[in-house]
Amino acid sequence: MDTLIGLRGNNFVVLAADTYSINSIIKLKNDDNTKFYDIHGNKCLLLGGSIGDRLQFGEFIRKNVHLYQYQNNTDMFVKSFAFFTRKNLAYYLRRNPFEVNCLIAGYDKKDGYQLYWCDYLSNMDSVNKGAHGYGAYLVSAILDKYYHENLTVDETLDIFKLCLKNEKKVSINSN
């Protein structure tokens, strides 16, 4: 099950993803690191979908953000980064679509910590909690039940452990 989970607290954002690639019910790889893209240390792109689309789209976004920084001698705000990612998903939707779902997180001094949910059809929204993939069907209720405004990092990690436990109980490919 391809799973991405994100939670935003007052002064942090925590993201989690599974580390394997699957095709149907066959686990292809158990140490997949193509889901997480660190952008300049203050922004992060978490991608779910087929491994080819994840690799191609993730590298495309990462390198274009670096190009933007080089050309303009400034860094993108997190909101700008999220809209840039969404714009590119929308552009390629009618040409050569990338079937990737995104969780975009980051920090800037202007707006603080932010989390954006974006799907392969380029629908995007700023959220406090979000999930993608098959695991989202299993963990959405847990996120709704345990999320509150003044969430601490320890509470967030406990919520993630509960999500993982729930997903392992149902998943065919879990160890």
Q: Is the pLDDT of residue 174 over 60?
A: no
Q: Is the residue at 96 inside a domain?
A: yes
User: How far apart, in Å, are the Cα atoms of 98 and each of 7, 18, 85?
Assistant: 25, 20, 12
CA distance 175 to 173: 7
Q: Is the residue at 175 inside a domain?
A: no
Domain tally, the chain:
1
Q: Which residue type occupies 157?
A: L
Q: How many CA atoms lie within 13 A of 45 on its CB side?
A: 28
Q: Is the residue at 144 inside a domain?
A: yes
User: How far apart, in Å, are the Cα atoms of 146 and each of 149, 151, 152?
Assistant: 10, 9, 12
Output the pTM of the full model: 0.87
Nearby residues of 120 by Cβ (< 8 Å), 6 or more positions away: 49, 89, 97, 98, 99, 100, 101
In tens, the pLDDT along 108-157 reads 998 899 999 999 999 999 999 999 988 888 889 999 999 988 899 999 99
In tens, the pLDDT along 31-52 reads 557 788 888 889 999 998 888 8
- Domain holding 16, by residue range, is 3-170
Beta bridge partners of 64: none
> What CATH code is carried by the domain that includes residue 37?
3.60.20.10
* Helices 78-93/51-72 angle, 10° precision: 130
* Residue predicted with more confidence, 50 or 82: 82
Q: Is the residue at 11 inside a domain?
A: yes
